[in-house]
Chains A and B, each alone.
Chain A
Amino acid sequence: MQDTSFNIVIGGAAGQGLATIGRLFSKGSTRAGYHLLVNQKYMSRVRGGHNTFAIRFGPDPIVGPTESIDILVALNAETLALHEANLTSRAIVIAGDDLETDAANVLRIPFKTLAPKPLFHNTVALGVLGAVVCLDAEILERLLTETFAKKGESVVQANIDVLRSAYAWVTSQEYTFPCVAPSEKDGERIMINGNEAIALGALAAGCNFLSFYPMTPATSVAMTLIEKGGPLGLVYEQVEDEIAAVNMAIGASYAGARAAVTTSGGGLALMVEGLSLAGVSETPLVCMVVQRPGPATGMATRTEQGDLNLVLYAGHGEFPRAVFAPADPEECFYLMHRAFDLAERFQVPVFVLSDQYLADSYRSLEPFDIETLPHTARPMLDADAAEYKRYLLTEDGVSPRLVPGSTKALVRADSHEHDEDSVITEDGLNRMMQNTKRLNKEYGLWDEVVEPDYYGEDTPDVLLVSWGSTLGACLDAMEMADFGKSVGVLHFKQVWPLLEDTFIDYLEESGTVITVEGNATGQFSKLIAQETGFIIREYILRFDGRPMSAEYVLAGLNTILETME
């Protein structure tokens, strides 16, 4: 496959504005019609340290991050030292003229000449970058106008002047770098990251209540909900701890809100008792869990898929749940919408399990299709007061959920075992009936399972099994694999419940089956073994806090195939 994409890495210290340059450039590329994928790495500090904003972009769809670099924008010396080894043969380095580099193809920017003061260095870098890839300057000028409009006409004009002088300077320089092929624009695109897409999916589903405690990398889900949810009627509170968050959401949901909590693994650990409460009280709840490496505080700003087991088993006792694992922002949006519908229909906790890489990864995509979104379920607003029983025994396990305060019917919910009228009881037969009722919802959830996606030719020699955000790296690796064996990818975007019938043939009919996971123990492959008896013996596992990449998958594949020969 001809790789039409370019990978730009902007590196520097926190506080140097590299994310601003990256976001503006990405937005400009999106508007120019390019596809892109952003991979942000940052440290748990507000200023200093080493951060990167990597943009892989080009005229054709892009699914995964790559580790090789075509354009390196270095805002400090550390960036050069850390990344020069990853430069491709066509690569260009863009750096300030005060930085030393041995790279062959370099543009050394005279920041002091091109910008009246250091405040404008970001705009200089943006202009140089835009000029090198031949991005239409007008697009960037319009972006600067929007960005600085609030600061007044003179600030806008000063930035545009600086951008123009940067473009002009680049044309006067000698360097080699091909312009990026123009994109065949197929309509207006949006630029959005995983966390923003999760928040928008929630709003699209009618989410109108959020209680949260800030925790990286989940915080931006809450921030997006707060920023965008106002006109849509979102009520929210930043609470004292995660225990309050989950209980407050349950109280709001009981009272008729479409409620959600956002957190990462450490916060979910605190919410565990509340999840059990949602289970027994049969209160709908959506948990947006954005993973980072653990145990405990782990690595706050890095990525991992280490909390699958936590999400599968969080909560004491036995109760049904569903767990989604989106691969990209598009899936974040649609699965989030689905999560709210399932939570309401089955009155269970539903999890959307993402990770830091996906959370901060911007993509350019077609705007979400609002018109064709299915209707999401709602609780009842009317019931006969004499007849109504909150925990009525039903065949499918779903009892009538009434919003309290709607009628004279009393809505009584309990954390204890209870009878149909919510009276605490230790009667053995009642316990069996109520517990069975709750667990019977599992069958309904089975009917709603999103089946795994399969990519590649039938009965491949090698089958890569991915879940959540590792899909892109697997698809890239499938394209790039060049060892005379066919490769397929089986991707799970719902990881619980797992229905054997929907995927076992792929496992049994492929040659070598390998799970690709962002954790150290192969949690998902063990789940498959537990549910199906099919034991996957080969793993490609990454748990250094960095996202799965095609290069990493291919290296793992090589090792596995060599060992087998």
Chain B
Amino acid sequence: MVTVEDFGQFETTWCPGCGNFSILSSLKKTLSALDIAPHEVVISSGIGQAAKMPHYLKCHMFNGLHGRSLPVAQGMKMANPDMKVLCVSGDGCSYGEGGNHFLAAIRRNMDITLLVHDNQIYGLTKGQASPTTERGHVTKAQPAGAPSEAFNPVSVAVAMKASFVARAFSGEPDHLVDVMTQAMNHTGFSLVDILQPCVSFNKVNTFAWYKERTYFLEEHDPTNWAAAMEKSDEFGDRIPLGVLYRNDRPIFPVHDRLALHEYDTNDLKAVVQSYT
């Protein structure tokens, strides 16, 4: 039996009150409830406060570059399909720097889970607008207000018929565990966009702001694409939480563990022979 304690207890560099804490403890609960042991899971992360997550967990990890957690994770999955592969990173990392990889990963549909800590701001670099910052939101870097429309990750994912799309909130940890569990049990690319207050740099989208607006999806059929499209667009006075959309699209073809693979010399000789 795997327990929460198996994933260790570490000192973090997060600010007191940060939404990341609840996401970390929810992830530990999810992994232990699913009986996934530390050596059975690998976390690929990018750069940012959220991307430090694997440092605070006992598990295999590859803490790589800003925005590049998905390509690394997909390489791992292709090399070893037996691994449980998670990607953990923030909104800037996943939707800004890694935007192209986000779109490509949805299309490829490998069996991996992407957890995005979405606080609508850059925290580690101290308060610049992120791709999900709402238009007009004033920051030190955008003193006249963020000039661009916010990126809606769940709408884009649903529009692309991603195989699993959910939204959760760090202030609702039980629901978050439930959504993470569904995401990890889903076969295919699963996105969980996790709303999370940045207590230091986002004075607009606070804990209270999310708490006031979020509600749990009920009587929503996640296999209904048109309904999911409509729900995914809801972000303002009311923000739905839960599984917005899922399907059973075919996943990316899988192979044997490449580390164990040795070719047959006769096959190589045949290849050379084909050039005579």
Contacts and interface: CB of A to CB of B under 8 A. Distances in A.
B271 A232 contact: yes
Interface stretch (A186-194, A447-455, A529-537): A186-194
Interface residues of A, number: 69
Nearest to B262: A206
Nearest to B46: A415
A414 interface: yes
A415 B65 contact: yes
B75 A251 contact: yes
A208 B264 CA distance: 13
Interface in B34-68: 37-40, 42, 44, 47, 52, 54-55, 58-65, 68
A412 interface: yes
A204 B266 CA distance: 11
A257 B258 contact: yes
A191 B62 contact: no
Given A31-B276, A240-B104, A247-B65, A406 B71 contact: no
Interface string A394-415: 0000000001111111111111
B273 interface: yes
A129 interface: no
B267 A231 contact: yes
Interface in A89-105: none
Contacts of B71: 211, 239, 243-245, 247-248, 251
Interface stretch (B79-87, B181-189, B194-202, B235-243): B79-87
Contacts of A200: 271-272
A241 B100 contact: yes
Contacts of A1: none
A348 interface: no
B272 A411 contact: no
A379 B259 contact: yes
Nearest to A240: B104
A233 B276 contact: no
A256 B276 contact: no
B79 A255 contact: yes
A204 B258 contact: no
A423 interface: yes
B76 A251 contact: yes
Contacts of A422: 61
A208 B65 contact: no
Nearest to A368: B272
A247 B42 contact: no
A348 to B, nearest CB: 17
Contacts of B256: 233
B55 A235 contact: no
B270 interface: yes
Interface string B10-43: 0000000000000000000000000001111010
A365 B71 CA distance: 39
A254 interface: yes
Contact of A249 (B63, B73, B75, B271): B75
Interface string B242-275: 0000000000000111111111110111111111
B276 A277 contact: no
B203 interface: no
Given A235-B255, A256-B258, A250 B61 contact: no
B103 A406 contact: no
A255 B259 contact: yes
Contacts of A408: 37, 39
B93 to A, nearest CB: 12
A321 B255 CA distance: 30
B58 A203 contact: no
Contact of A248 (B63, B75, B100, B263): B75
Interface in A345-387: 367-368, 370-371, 378-379, 381, 385
Given A255-B258, A257-B258, A410 B38 contact: yes
Contacts of B61: 410, 412-414, 422
A244 B99 CA distance: 11
A209 B75 contact: yes
Contacts of A37: none
Contact of A277 (B37, B60, B65, B79): B65
Given A31-B276, A200-B272, A209-B75, A412 B267 contact: no
A203 to B, nearest CB: 6
Contacts of A368: 272
Contacts of B262: 206
B7 to A, nearest CB: 11
Contacts of B255: 233, 235
A253 interface: yes
Contacts of A244: 68, 71, 100-101, 104
Interface in B146-184: none
Interface string A415-426: 110000011100
Given A259-B79, A408-B39, 12 more contacts: A209-B78, A233-B256, A243-B100, A244-B71, A248-B71, A250-B72, A255-B42, A256-B258, A281-B64, A371-B265, A405-B83, A413-B63
27 contacts: A200-B272, A203-B268, A209-B75, A209-B258, A211-B75, A232-B263, A233-B263, A235-B78, A239-B104, A241-B100, A251-B62, A251-B71, A252-B78, A254-B72, A256-B257, A258-B258, A274-B65, A277-B65, A277-B68, A368-B272, A379-B259, A404-B42, A405-B257, A409-B39, A410-B39, A412-B61, A424-B63
Interface of B: 37-40, 42, 44, 47, 52, 54-55, 58-65, 68, 71-76, 78-80, 82-83, 100-101, 103-104, 108, 255-265, 267-276
4 nearest CB pairs, A to B: A256-B259, A251-B75, A251-B72, A247-B71
